[in-house]
């Protein structure tokens, strides 16, 4: 544990209406009663104002805007204690089809935020991904650590790697008070139906056979969004400036294992799915070593039973069909157009 604890009263959360960002906002409102949250979100297809439903107006201000808007960002940052930066274009398939928005949001947007935090001396925490490290072989026992060399393999991961480098440069050159976290794959409520776990769940709820890329052996390291949220807060308040912390919950599973767990939990057979062609440059394995976060800051995940967390997630999608059904048809149409 670090000696000094940073105690913000007001934070700006970029991308706070998206999946991981909104889970973080809910976590903060529930667990940190002294904190007021301002969410800045462009409300692209992946952002949804309904993701913040139920949060009292006294705790939350919502601003519809873009992180590339320098004037807006400057105004918000001038009146806050910290910026927690979730906003990103994040879907690999979309980055392959059109990298342009990824460069704009993930690189240019991060630069705009860093400049504002530099100007107003505001604490900055940058949310990144384990995908910046590339991938590991399926038979490789090693896991990513904070010292693993960067080796991004998609337009998405390369733009996140770029933004990480900007943060480090602004810390070293300009003294910006920043930290970085690179996290493994999140699951939980409010995740867009284009993503792997909710796509399979909602396909089954719609009577559609789930789809599985390639050979299904690609491994992801899963963490519940609530555990990610607690880790980010821990780093924001206790992390050492200029440091990177990897967030993971020892949740390695192959895609076919995850799909079959969903099928079993929802009463379908283990082979009730269709194989589809693999995505270009599909990373084989991600695995996070979160020793630094756990030993230095004392963080521990709570959702360590994946089957239980998955059951809760399935139940959430059953109970919130009005949330996801309006976008389901268009999402599947986009996949069908690419044969996936």
Q: Residues near 217 by Cβ (< 8 Å), separated by ≥ 6? A: 138, 254, 255, 256, 284
Distances in Å between the alpha carbon of 198 and those of 204, 235, 256, 318? 10, 28, 15, 11
Q: Is residue 250 flagged as an active site residue?
A: no
Q: Is residue 213 flagged as an active site residue?
A: no
Q: Is residue 131 flagged as an active site residue?
A: yes
The tokens of 192 are what?
Answer: 């867009």
What distance in Å separates the CA atoms of residue 69 and residue 57, rounded to the nearest whole number?
24
Helix or strand or coil: residue 225?
Answer: helix
- Residues β-bridged to residue 212: 275
Q: Which of 91, 330, 336, 339 is nearest to 214 (CA)?
A: 339
What distance in Å separates the CA atoms of residue 26 and residue 224, rounded to the nearest whole number?
14
| Catalytic residue (choose from 130, 221, 227, 332) | 130
| Catalytic residue (choose from 156, 190, 213, 286) | 156
| Catalytic residue (choose from 41, 89, 131, 283) | 131
| Burial zone of 178 (CB within 10 Å; 0-12 exposed, 13-18 middle, 19+ buried) | buried
What distance in Å separates the CA atoms of residue 66 and residue 58, rounded to the nearest whole number?
23
Q: So which residues are the catalytic ones? A: 130-131, 156
């Amino acid at each position: 544990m670090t000696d000094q604890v940073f105690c913000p009263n007001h934070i700006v959360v970029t991308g706070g209406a998206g999946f991981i960002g909104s889970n973080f906002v809910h976590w903060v409102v529930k667990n940190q009663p002294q904190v007021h949250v301002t969410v800045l979100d462009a409300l692209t297809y992946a952002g949804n104002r309904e993701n913040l439903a139920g949060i009292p107006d006294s705790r939350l201000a919502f601003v519809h805007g873009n992180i590339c808007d320098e004037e807006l960002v400057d105004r918000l940052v001038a009146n806050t204690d910290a910026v927690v930066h979730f906003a990103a274009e994040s879907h690999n398939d979309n980055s392959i089809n059109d990298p342009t928005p990824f460069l704009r949001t993930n690189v240019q947007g991060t630069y705009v935020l860093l400049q504002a935090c530099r100007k107003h001396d505001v604490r900055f925490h940058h949310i990144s991904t384990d995908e910046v490290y590339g991938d590991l072989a399926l038979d490789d026992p090693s896991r990513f650590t904070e010292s693993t060399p960067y080796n991004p393999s998609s337009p998405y991961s390369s733009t996140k790697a770029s933004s990480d480098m900007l943060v480090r440069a602004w810390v070293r050159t300009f003294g910006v008070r920043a930290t970085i976290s690179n996290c493994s794959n999140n699951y939980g409520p409010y995740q867009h139906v284009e993503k792997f776990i909710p796509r399979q769940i909602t396909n089954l709820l719609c009577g559609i056979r789930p789809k599985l890329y390639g050979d299904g052996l690609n491994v992801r390291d899963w963490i519940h969004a609530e555990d990610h949220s607690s880790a980010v807060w821990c780093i924001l308040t206790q992390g050492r400036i200029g440091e990177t912390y990897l967030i993971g919950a020892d949740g390695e599973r192959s895609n076919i294992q995850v799909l079959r767990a969903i099928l079993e939990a929802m009463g379908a057979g283990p082979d009730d799915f269709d194989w589809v062609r693999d995505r270009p440059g599909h990373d084989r394995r991600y695995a996070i070593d979160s020793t630094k976060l756990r030993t230095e800051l004392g963080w521990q995940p709570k959702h360590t039973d994946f089957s239980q967390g998955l059951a809760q997630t399935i139940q959430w999608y059953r109970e919130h069909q009005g949330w996801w059904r309006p976008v389901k048809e268009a999402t599947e149409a986009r996949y069908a157009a690419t044969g996936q």
